[in-house]
Structure 1
């Protein structure tokens, strides 16, 4: 029986805007900025505010799509080495989020772990989360952190700071020409 969380039923959202935010955060970290520059934070807040409610929902769906695509790539990479993506990714990301109490509140971590498990088993993170009600404001930063940490993990695995961004950009380009 098909799952109501099957990715084919999920909205893709604004993957481009979500990727732009994650890529910007990656570049900031790679450039040695360990905390968000106040000007960068203000620009991000203005950008999100300019989206309006529908655009903000599209951005959240886009972040969930990124998480799904990153986990799909990681699942294939780990399976090539006879490893389980959930076993290797979820504990590591949960441990990292626990070290980020200012950005990721402890009560958001189980939800983010659930998103990772959903994506790691081929389910849509956004549809999986939707079963439990509306997204909360307190889940927005952890959602961004989850997508960021996955992208950074992929970049680290490939020893290429731009690999995760190129992975998504290529997928978007292929989808547009397919």
Structure 2
């Protein structure tokens, strides 16, 4: 039986813009910076300011698509070792989020964990979230952090600091060719 949260019903959104934001954060961390690079932050701010409401929603959907793609990859990687992706990814994600109280308010953590569980079980994170109403401003940083933490988790597993970004870029290139 088909679920209303099946990914086939979900908007893909602006995956490119969402990926650019996540990739810039990954590069900041790997460069050893704890604060955003002013030049990079200015570019992100300009992009965000130029989006408008429709564009912002597209980036939100794009971030959810990234979470879905990352969890799909993680699920497949864990299944190869007869492990459950939810059991191995969600607890460490939640623990990490709890250590980030300036960026992630405690009340946002269950929603982000739910998004990850939805994606890990093959459901669309954006459609799963939509069941509970509109996104709130307080969920924007946690959503970005969730996508970032999943990308970083993949990069650590593969021992390649660019693997997650490259995986998505290659998938987008393949989609463009089709």
- TM interval, short-chain normalised: over 0.9
Could you say what secondary structure the match of 1:171 adopts? helix
Where does residue 131 of structure 1 map in the other structure?
131
What is the aligned partner in structure 1 of residue 85 from structure 2? 85
Counterpart of 1:152 in structure 2 is: 152
Q: Aligned to 1:95, what secondary structure does the other structure show?
A: helix
Per the alignment, residue 140 of structure 2 pairs with 140
CA distance, structure 1, for counterparts of residue 104 and residue 20 of structure 2: 21
Q: 1:43: how far off?
A: 3.5
CA distance in 1, matches of 2:53, 2:12: 16
Question: How far off is 1:34 after superposition?
Answer: 1.7
Per-residue CA deviation, residues 135-173 of structure 1 (Å, 9 max, x unaligned), is: 000000000000000000000000000100010001101
- Work out the number of aligned pairs and report it: 178
| Offset of residue 39 of structure 1 | 4.8
Correspondence list, 1:50-69, <5 A = 50-69=50-69
In structure 1, runs of 5+ residues without a counterpart are none
What is the deviation of 1:49?
1.6
Residue number in structure 1 paired with 2:24: 24
Residues 57-87 of structure 1: CA deviation (Å, up to 9, x unaligned) = 0000000000000000000000000000000
Whether 1:75 and 2:99 are equivalent positions in the alignment is: no
The CA distance in 2 between the partners of 1:92 and 1:131, in whole Å, is 26
Shift of 1:122: 0.1
Q: C-alpha distance in 2, partners of 1:83/1:10? A: 27
C-alpha displacement of 1:101: 0.3
Relative distance call for 1:87 and 1:29 in structure 2 (3 A) is same
C-alpha contact (below 8 Å) 2:24/2:40 kept by paired residues: no
- Structure 1 range deviating more: 90-99 or 36-45: 36-45
- Distance across 2 between alignment mates of 1:136 and 1:127: 15
Task: Detail structure 1 runs of 4+ shifted over 6 Å in the superposition.
Answer: none
Query: If the length of structure 1 is used for normalisation, what is the TM-score?
Result: 0.97
* 1:115 alignment partner in structure 2: 115
Return the alpha-carbon distance in structure 2 between the equivalents of residues 103 and 34 of structure 1.
13
Instruction: State the alpha-carbon separation in 1 of the partners of residues 106 and 29 from structure 2.
Output: 23
Using the TM superposition, give the Cα deviation of residue 37 of structure 1 relative to its aligned residue in structure 2, in angstroms. 3.7
**How far apart are the structure 2 equivalents of 1:41 and 1:30?**
16
